[in-house]
Amino acid sequence: MRRVLLTGATTPLGAGLIRRLLGRDDVSLVVAVARPGEMPPVGIDDGRFVFVNADLTRSRGVRDVLWGPAKRANALVLAAHHRSVRNVGRRARLLNVESTRMMLNMAESHPHLERVVYRSFGDVYRVDSKQPAMIDEYHPLNLDPRTPQWIRDRVEADTMVSTRTGLSPLNITVLRFAPTLARNMGSQLYDFLDAPVCFTPLGFDPILNVIDLRDMVRAIDKALSNDVEGIFNIPGRDTLAMSEAIRRFGKREIGVPGAALSRLYRARARLVGGEFDYELNRGRFHWNGVLDGRRARLQLGFVPEHGINWPVGGSLPETAGGPFSLRAPAGSGLPSTEASPEPAVKLVR
Amino acid sequence: MARMMDLMTPMPRESAIATLSRLLTSASLRERIASMPLPDEGHGVDVFGLNREWVAFGVGLMRGLYEQWFRVASSGHENIPSHGAAILAANHSGTLPFDAMMLWTDVVRNTNPPRLARTIADHFVPNLPFVSTLYARTGAVGGSRANLHALLERGDLVAVFPEGTPGIGKHFRDRYRLQTWRVGHVEFALHHRAPVVPVAIVGAEEQMPQIGRIPVGSKVFGAPYLPVMLTPFPLPVKYHIRYGEPLYLHQSFDPERYADPEVLERAAGLVAGKVNELLELGLRERKGIFR
């Protein structure tokens, strides 16, 4: 029987995973952790589900969860990261890196935890003209010191978890996901496409791979269902040119000489805000970088099944109102997040 | 305003490419390209960016050069395996890579069943705006080891130029003298047990005599230098492309020793020797640079 502790519960991925796990007979407990003040996903009414608000950037918070509601958990899914690229500094790093480190340190002395699945990102890889278009798990990581913190934190956390595989008493799997096209997921690609006009480097049209949320959920579920350790790339079913993604998203593409693009995006961020940061994506906007999923196929048995339902354009993707929504669709009869009066919530201070 | 926006669209849309390829390519060539088994990940491209419409466009774009300007004559297409992984290893020259373009076009036009050669480009090519996209859409791939493994694993026909940049940038006085013949292609051939087809391209070495180089220290799109050519455009030399019999190196050498430098030197020497033989034959048989 799996008893799962899940961080990052309030993202569309977290919500989808909770539902997926509760749909299984061999899962007897799902403890979902979110930051203080966040509400649980709507419409989950299951005695096996426990929602916890906790500050995982403090060791006390981590301890209270692990030895409190998650005392019986035997599997841990780490999926909490700052989603906003504007969250920088010590506080952001605490969640992105240090809380993961604390979780793993304490999980090693937990009475029942034996399995850890860490949600990582394809963004940790370096993409430049000298690197192969197909990115396998041995591909160089982006360790450029000039890289913005958003990437550095992800690389550090990924490396910190990855180096424990085989050394820790825990059975650890790291899943490096292709970008997804969903709001509230920290997807730079979504933030780029969500703007009315997409400025791209003139003369370049790289190939992208994107994953559907349902496949992300399936991949984590697959990892929880077996005991294979290691690092796995998790690509999606859609591989397409950037221009095609923009077209399918229903947006207008304008080519701008590469040297001016950085300034243009900085100016736009100052004027109208937005989450997209060109500096994070410079490599991926010039050169192909597609995750090679062979290892996941052979060892985890994961093959992407769900294509993106284009056009995604401007709202939650096809999953709006579906199994990943945080808000109930209009007329569904389900309460919205705000209106959810008494969810199965336990609070841990 | 809409017209203005269209002009600013960085790369032509697929439909525009399809229209252009219809204008530039004959119906029989389009049929040939349509019958090619090309990888497609579901949105018309493979992971390297190959697209069938762009292949047709590329063949159309090369038509004038292939038929009228360079008047390409080729022989030995039957030596190119009809399926499965294989490596074409050719001499490289001419300052600008028209030899690669003519080889690529010749393979598309003359192989039966039609195949596409995935040409391997130098590392600086993906830095070139527009060119990188055109190359990628027509099947060229950046020359990293993982890319080559991926192509050969799935059974593609790969075209390499083991002389690399020193080959294409060789001085006019060094024409038809092979530069250092690198060994990477034979390592891949042994590893994947893929045949190597030696290819000699006669004509390209005289197309654009290079008389000097401006060192730019990789500052211009990562290119090692800017060539100084005697002519601003290629001379209408006549191309002769000859495909030699395939070399099954894994039968002559122990494929398990694909990383052994001694084995690789000997195997690469064998391929270079065959290319040299074909070059000498081609030079003997041609009637002149322009004929």
CB contacts of A181 in chain B (<8 Å) are: none
What is the predicted pLDDT for the residue at A311? 74
Does B5 score more than 80 pLDDT? no
- In this structure, is residue A279 part of a structural domain? no
Contact: B142, A133; criterion CB under 8 Å? yes
Does B154 touch chain A if contact means CB atoms closer than 8 Å? Answer: no
Would you say residue A149 lies in a domain? yes
**Residues A242/A304, Cβ–Cβ less than 8 Å:** no
In a domain, A256, yes or no: no
- Band of residue B199 on the pLDDT scale cut at 50, 70, 90: very high
Q: Which of B186, B171, B160 is nearest to B92 (CA)?
A: B160
Residue B15, chain A, CB below 8 Å: the answer is no
Contacts of B172 (CB under 8 A, 6+ apart): B206, B209, B210, B211, B230
Task: Look at A129 and B46 and tell me if their CB atoms are within 8 Å.
Answer: no
Could you say which residues from 212 to 231 on chain B have a Cβ atom under 8 Å away from some Cβ of chain A? Answer: 222
**Structural domain contains residue A194:** no
- Over the stretch A232-286, which tens digit does the pLDDT of each residue have? 999 999 999 999 999 998 899 999 998 899 899 989 888 888 888 898 899 999 9
> Is residue A329 assigned to a domain?
no
The pLDDT score that the predictor gives to residue A319 is 37
Contacts A287 to B, Cβ<8 Å: 126, 142
The pLDDT-based confidence of B14 (bands split at 50, 70, 90) is low
Q: Which residues in chain B touch residue A237, judged by CB atoms under 8 angstroms apart?
A: 42
- For residue B223, the model assigns a pLDDT of 65
* Three state DSSP letters for A56-116: CCCHHHHHHHHCCCCCCCCEEEECCCCCCCCCCCHHHHHHHHHHHHHHHHHHCCCCCCCEE
Q: Among residues 100-129 of chain B, which lie with CB inside 8 Å of chain A?
A: 123-124, 126-129
In a domain, A189, yes or no: no
Could B142 and A139 be called an inter-chain contact, meaning their C-beta atoms sit closer than 8 Å? no
Residue A84 has pLDDT above 90, yes or no: no
Mutation to test the B interface, candidates A199, A204, A284, most B Cβ within 10 Å: A204
| B2 close to A (CB below 8 A) | no
The residues in A 42-81 lying below 8 A from B, measured between CB atoms, are: none
Of A139, A204, A244, the CB nearest to B132: A204
Q: Which of A197-201, A206-210, B18-22 has the lowest mean pLDDT?
A: B18-22
Segment holding B224, helix H or strand E: none
The 3-state DSSP class for residue A232 equals strand
Confidence label for B220 from pLDDT (cuts 50, 70 and 90): low
Which conformational region is residue B159 in: left (phi greater than 0), alpha (psi within -120 to 50 degrees), or beta?
beta
Are residues A236 and B43 in contact, defined by beta-carbon separation less than 8 angstroms?
A: no
Nearest to A289 by CA among A119, A139, A155, A173: A139
Could you tell me which chain A residue has the CA closest to the CA of B5? A254
* ipTM of the shown complex: 0.84
d(CA A84, CA A153): 13
C-alpha A303/C-alpha A294 separation (Å) is 9
* Cβ distance of B127 and A239 shorter than 8 Å: no
pLDDT, residue A187, reads 87
Average pLDDT over residues B169-187: 91
B133 and A287 within 8 Å at the Cβ level: the answer is no
Say if A252 is an interface residue toward chain B (CB within 8 Å): yes
Residue A133 to chain B, least CA–CA distance (Å) = 6
For residue A85, give its domain range. Answer: 2-180+211-236+291-305
Which pLDDT score, from 0 to 100, does residue A332 have? 36
CB pair distance less than 8 Å for B42 and A240: yes
Mean pLDDT of B257-280: 96
**Any chain A CB within 8 A of the CB of B138?**
no
Residues of chain B neighbouring A307 (CB-CB closer than 8 A): 42
Q: Is B139 on the interface with A (CB under 8 A)?
A: no
pLDDT on residue B12: 56
Residue A153 to residue A13: CA distance in whole angstroms: 20
Spatial contact of B191 and B268, defined as CB atoms under 8 Å apart: no
pLDDT-derived band at B18 (thresholds 50, 70, 90) equals confident
Q: How far apart are CA B205 and CA B243, in angstroms?
A: 17
Of B43, B130, B131, the CB nearest to A240: B43
Please report residues of A whose CB lies closer than 8 A to that of B5: 252, 254
Q: Please, which residues 288-327 of chain A have a Cβ atom closer than 8 Å to chain B?
A: 288, 290, 292, 307
Residue B222: per-residue pLDDT: 62
Length of chain A: 349
Between β-strands A290-291 and B117-121, what pairing exists: parallel, antiparallel or unpaired?
unpaired
Query: What's the whole-number mean pLDDT along residues B201-210?
Result: 91
Cβ–Cβ gap A200/B10 under 8 Å: yes
Write out pLDDT tens, residues A14-73: 999 999 999 999 999 999 999 898 888 888 888 999 999 999 989 999 999 999 999 999
Contact (CB<8Å) B150/A292: yes
Residues of chain B positioned with their CB less than 8 A from the CB of A254 = 5, 8-10
Q: How many angstroms away from the CA of A212 is the closest CA of chain B?
A: 15
List the one residue out of A42, A329, A311 whose CA is nearest residue A194: A311
> Per the domain annotation, does A298 fall within a domain?
yes
Q: What per-residue confidence (pLDDT) applies to B13?
A: 57
> Mean pLDDT throughout A73-77?
97
pLDDT tier for residue B157 given thresholds of 50, 70 and 90:
very high
Residues of A in contact with B13 (CB under 8 A): 243, 247
> Which residue of chain B has the CA closest to A208?
B47
Minimal C-alpha gap between B137 and chain A (Å): 10
Least confident of A179-183, B50-54, B258-262: A179-183
Per the CB < 8 Å rule, is A240 touching B10? no
Look at residue A349 and tell me whether its pLDDT is greater than 60: no
B46 contact residues in A (CB cutoff 8 A): 239
Nearest residue in B to A130, CA atom = B123
CA distance A187 to chain B (A): 21
What integer best gives the mean pLDDT of chain B? 90
- pLDDT value at position B217? 61
Closest CA to B134 of B21, B220, B8: B21
Query: pLDDT at residue B124 above 90?
Result: no
CA–CA dist A154, A262 (Å, integer): 22
CB contact under 8 A, A288 and B43: no
Q: B284 vs B209, which has greater pLDDT?
A: B284
Q: Do A132 and B136 touch (CB under 8 A)?
A: no
Residue A261 lies in a domain: no
pLDDT at B64 over 90: yes
What mean pLDDT, rounded, does chain A reach? 86
Residues of A in contact with B42 (CB under 8 A): 237-240, 307
Number of folded domains that form chain A? 1
Determine the pLDDT at residue A214: 95
pLDDT tens for residues A281-335? 999 999 999 999 999 999 999 999 999 988 774 433 333 334 443 333 333 333 3
Which of B124, B126, B146 is nearest residue A287 as measured by Cβ atoms? B126
Average pLDDT over residues B279-290: 92
| Surface-to-core class of residue B7, CB atoms within 10 Å of its CB (0-12 exposed, 13-18 middle, 19+ buried) | exposed
CATH at residue A171: 3.40.50.720
For an interface test with A, give the residue of B1, B3, B6, B9 to mutate (most A CBs within 10 A): B9
Residues in a beta bridge with B270:
none
Overall average pLDDT of the A223-240 stretch: 95
Give chain B's domains with CATH numbers: 15-285 (3.40.1130)
The answer to whether the Cβ–Cβ distance between A133 and B147 falls below 8 Å is yes
CA end-to-end span of chain A: 28
How far is Cα A230 from Cα A262, in angstroms, rounded to an integer? 36
* Count of CA atoms in the C-beta half-sphere (13 A) of A139: 29
In whole angstroms, what is the distance from residue B107 CA to residue B77 CA?
8
Put simply, the answer to whether A132 touches B147 (Cβ < 8 Å) is yes
Residue B24: C-alpha distances to residues A59, A282, B54, B167 (Å): 68, 35, 12, 31
- Mean pLDDT, residues B184-189 taken together: 96
Asked if the model's pLDDT at residue A129 lies above 90, the reply is no
